Amino acid sequence: MEEIKALVAVFDDIDEGVYVADPASHEILYANRTVKKDFGKNIVGKKCHEALQGFEKPCGFCTNRFIFGESLGKSYIWEFQNLKNKRWYRCIDKAIKWHDEKMVRYEMAIDIHDRKVAEDALRSSEEKYRQLVENINEVIYSVDKTGTVIYVSSAIQSLTGYSPSEIVGLHFSNFIHQDDFERIVMRYGEALSGQERPTEYRILTKSGEARWVRTLSRPIREGDTSVGLQGVLSDVTAYKEVEAELQEREKELSIKTNDLEEINTALRVLLKRREKDKNELEEKILLNVKELVNPYLEKLKKSIDDKKERVYLDILEANLRTLTSSFSRDLHFKYLNLTPAELHIAGLVREGKTSKDIADLMNLSSRTIESHRKNIRRKMGLTAKKRNLRTLLLEVE
């Protein structure tokens, strides 16, 4: 009896909830101050399933079967969430001898609610992180300080054909293309020292195919020491193929551009030669006309007295000047909409001929010549009436 009193005194002084119940009637025989604070001061004498859980019948999870019979004397430790206050407890149940020498169920309930909530939150967060890592297309990986793969996400299988279990435990260099091997092994040391920058290289798939990847690694640190790397691996094979194709196209374009430049240079030489030949031809024609035609025209003009024949001779001389003059050609190219007759009349106006003179030379009426002059002014954009047509024609070079 004294032992029970001493035990009760200890129970009353601790922060964990402690109660004692009759295993047959489920009546609460004792409850310490913590239990009374959480579930009511007057719970002694009530059924434990009613007072602690809010049930009308004994709990289906009652621990009597774990602490009596063959398990008598053994402690049963379990965790559960109380259905009444919704808090989590770690319970230690055991059969003990009460003051009337009767065996009773003793339970100590340690409040672990905050820890369980934190664990559940952590577990939920870890699950979300795991799903995120496993469901993205990029490969998440970790390697230790020696370069051995300690984790790789499932996306590695679609990239390489290897499952994560086939890669974890192997050195990362086993999967590097031989042409990139030395560069990437050196780059690993740089990344381990904290030099973070994207790196592109080729990895080998299970079938032996080379695929381009881009990776960005960061050191895993314990204090100030790097103990490994973690990072993201992205498949950039399609991008590299397009890049290579563009480079090839640029190379072809550069060759074609050089060819075109050579062709343009040759064309410029030919055009320059053609212009020179044309000028030489024009000079020869002008010289021939001057030396072989004009002297005879002058003689004819002196020897012909007939007025009509003199008119024809003037027309011939004017037409000849028009044909050998660069003015006619320049005027034609500058004002493409001028007719041959208008070009002829413009040349005579430029020489200072009046409408009557031109009419006599061309055997046309003065009214017709005036109509042509109006058309020439309109086509050349000479809208101001005070602006002289001959002045504008003299400006044409």
The mean pLDDT of 53-63, rounded to a whole number, is: 93
pTM: 0.40
CA angle 251, 253, 254 (to 5 degrees): 65
CA contacts within 13 A on the Cβ side of 103:
12
Residue 332 has pLDDT above 60, yes or no: no
| pLDDT of 203 | 92
Q: Could you count the other beta carbons within 10 Å of the beta carbon of residue 106?
A: 22
The whole-angstrom separation of Cα 103 and Cα 49 is 19
The answer to whether 152 touches 167, Cβ cutoff 8 Å, is yes
Distance CA 288, CA 296 (A): 12
Measured in residues, the chain has a length of 397
pLDDT: which is higher, 308 or 135: 308
Residue ranges matching CATH 1.10.10 in the chain: 304-394
Give me the mean pLDDT over the 361-387 stretch.
83
Contact indicator for 94, 71 with CB cutoff of 8 Å: no
Two tokens, residue 241: 């193929």
Q: Are the CB atoms for 339 and 298 separated by under 8 Å?
A: no
Q: Give residue 330's pLDDT.
A: 58
More confident residue, 241 or 336: 241
CA pseudo-torsion sign 274, 275, 280, 282: positive
What number of other Cβ atoms are within 10 A of residue 132's Cβ?
11
Rounded to whole angstroms, how far apart are CA atoms 127 and 136? Answer: 14
Nearest to 81 by CA among 128, 124, 117: 117
Task: Tell me the two tokens of residue 154.
Answer: 């499932």
Return the CATH class of domain 304-394.
mainly alpha
Q: Is 362 helix (H, G, I), strand (E, B) or coil?
A: helix
Q: How far apart are CA 3 and CA 29, in angstroms?
A: 16
Q: Exposed (0-12), middle (13-18) or buried (19+): which is 150, by Cβ within 10 Å?
A: middle
- Distances in whole angstroms, Cα of residue 172 to Cα of each of 64, 147, 206, 385: 56, 6, 14, 91
β-pairing, 88-97 vs 103-111, is antiparallel
Question: pLDDT (tens digit, 9 = 90+) per residue, 2-36?
Answer: 666 666 777 777 889 999 999 999 999 999 999 99
Statement: residue 51 has pLDDT above 70:
yes
3-state secondary structure of 305: coil
Per the prediction, the chain carries an average pLDDT of: 84
Q: State the pLDDT at residue 354.
A: 87
User: What are the pLDDT digits (tens) for 134-147?
Assistant: 666 788 889 999 99
Question: Is residue 381 over pLDDT 90?
Answer: no
Cα–Cα distance, 135 to 155 (Å, whole number): 8
Residues whose CB is less than 8 angstroms from the CB of residue 319 and which lie 6 or more positions away in sequence, other chains included:
344
Instruction: Encode pLDDT of 216-249 as tens digits.
Output: 888 988 888 889 999 888 888 888 888 888 888 8
Q: What is the CATH number of domain 2-117?
A: 3.30.450.20
To the question of domain 139-235 being in CATH 3.40.50.11030, the answer is no
Q: Band of the pLDDT at 175, cuts 50, 70, 90?
A: very high
- The C-alpha atoms of residue 180 and residue 203 are separated, in whole angstroms, by 9
Q: How far apart are CA 20 and CA 108, in angstroms?
A: 9
Helix, strand, or coil (residue 147)? coil
CATH 3.30.450.20 residue ranges for the chain: 2-117, 139-235
Helix axes 307-324, 294-303, angle to 10 degrees: 170
| pLDDT tops 70 at residue 148 | yes
Which of 323, 324, 327 minimizes the C-alpha distance to 287?
A: 324
- pLDDT over 80 at 196, yes or no: yes
Q: Which of 77-86, 132-141, 270-279 has the lowest mean pLDDT?
A: 132-141
DSSP string, 45-90: TSBHIIIII--SS--TT-THHHHSGGGTT--EEEEEE-TTT--EEE
